[in-house]
Amino acid sequence: MTPRVGTGRPRALPSEMDSPVPATLRTARLLLRPWAAADAAALQPVLTANAAHLGPWIPARVATVAPLPVLAERLAGFADDFAAGRAYRYALLTRDGTRLLGEADLFPRAAGGRVPLPDADHVEVGYWLDAAATGQGLATEATRALLDVAAALPAMTHAEIRCDVANAPSAAVPRRLGFRLAAVEGELQVWRKPLPVGADGG
């Protein structure tokens, strides 16, 4: 039996009126919302089943399977980061919210790396999918939704996608969405796409 996806909301989640980054996004097939500790039971079997699929590509602190209390604490930390504007990690679900498919992320960045949103001048988009959900254009669909969010943020010059040079499926997403390969940093490709000037005119 598939574990129930959590329905609890993260602590201190900002309302959409308080934050320029919406807490909920819907596309034709997807629901994106912040992680909650209650999602641990649904996430644990996904990570277990995808250890070989995800392990080479995403950080161990995200991909490593952990006991439910540890995983719940990890997800609560993601929710706190979302609320504080440090990193916007969305649980990626079917549009009806019943099946967990992966994660999609919006990370504020400056020249030195990831920073809180007020200090950022561009964004990084990230994503991962359950292997069973790949090959359907879902990562592209989620990324397009996050690019729409990024385009509405003030003073953001461009979006980046960073992926391993050997991860061809991940690199296919920026290609489809009009990104250009801007740099190769060791084993990491950096794809960039200009954004229109945000809401305050930059």
Q: Do the domain assignments include residue 3? A: no
Domain tally, the chain:
1
Place of tokens 């991909």: 63
Q: Do the domain assignments include residue 12? A: no
Record the pTM: 0.88
CB of 32 within 8 A of CB of 23?
A: no
Q: Which domain holds residue 81?
A: 26-194
Q: Do the domain assignments include residue 17? A: no
Backbone region of residue 42 per phi and psi (left: phi > 0; alpha: psi in -120 to 50; beta: other values): alpha
Residue 35: give its domain's CATH number: 3.40.630.30
Q: Do the domain assignments include residue 199? A: no
Q: Do the domain assignments include residue 19? A: no
Pairing of strands 158-164, 122-129: parallel
By CB neighbour count within 10 A (0-12 exposed, 13-18 middle, 19+ buried), where does 104 fall? Answer: buried
CA triplet 62, 64, 70: central angle to 5 degrees? Answer: 85
Write out the two tokens for 76: 């609560």
What pLDDT tens digit does each residue of the chain (202 aa) get?
A: 445 566 544 343 444 447 899 999 999 999 999 999 999 999 999 999 999 899 888 887 787 889 999 999 999 999 999 999 999 999 999 999 999 999 999 999 999 999 999 999 999 999 999 999 999 999 999 999 999 999 999 889 999 999 999 999 999 999 999 999 999 999 999 999 999 864 454 4
